[in-house]
Amino acid sequence: METTTHSPRVYWKTCAALMALLAVTWSIGYVNLGSFNLVVALAISISKALLVALFFMHMKGSSRLLHFAATAGVIWLLILFSLTLGDYFTRDRGSSQVTPSQIPEHFDGER
């Protein structure tokens, strides 16, 4: 019989890999890597998400249409993040250099 699912071996191997990555995330959480803690944690989370999507959710071997729908979600998420963070991370740029003389005389509101 032709199947679209994988053999149980594949699922148990995926499970083992996920558990191993969980153990790594958990132990890295007790080591001080500075800002790399977040980078490593996110890299591991993305790897785990990929394992789940590829094997459990059968992205591996799915039609292009499904790849397209799944990728669209991620791309829109990236747009959401890049536009909003682009604003937040550049919002106060230069504001500290504003001297009183640069404020228009008729300006009477709060900045």
Partner 1 sequence: MNPGSTAATPFVHEQFETVEQQRSAAQLGMWVFLATEVLFFGGLFLAYTVYRSLYPQTFATASHHTEVILGGINTGILLFSSTLMALAVRAAELRNRKRLVWLLLGTAFLGVVFMAIKGIEYHKDFVEHLVPGSHFVWHEANQSHAEIFFWLYFAMTGLHAIHVIVGIFVLLTLAVLARRGKFTTGHHTPVEIAGLYWHFVDVVWIFLFPLMYLAGHR
| Contact positions vs partner 1 (CB under 8 A) | 1, 3-6, 8, 11-12, 14-15, 18-19, 22, 25-26, 28-33, 37-38, 41-42, 44-45, 48-49, 52-53, 55-57, 62-63, 65-66, 69-70, 72-74, 76-77, 80-81, 84-85, 88-89
Looking at the Cβ atoms of 83 and 107, the one nearer to partner 1 is: 83
* Cβ 19 vs Cβ 27: under 8 Å: no
Q: What is the CA radius of gyration of the chain?
A: 24
Non-local CB neighbours of 4 within 8 Å, separated by 6+ positions: 58, 61
Here the tokens at position 36 are 């790399």
Q: Toward partner 1, which CB reaches closer, 42 or 101?
A: 42
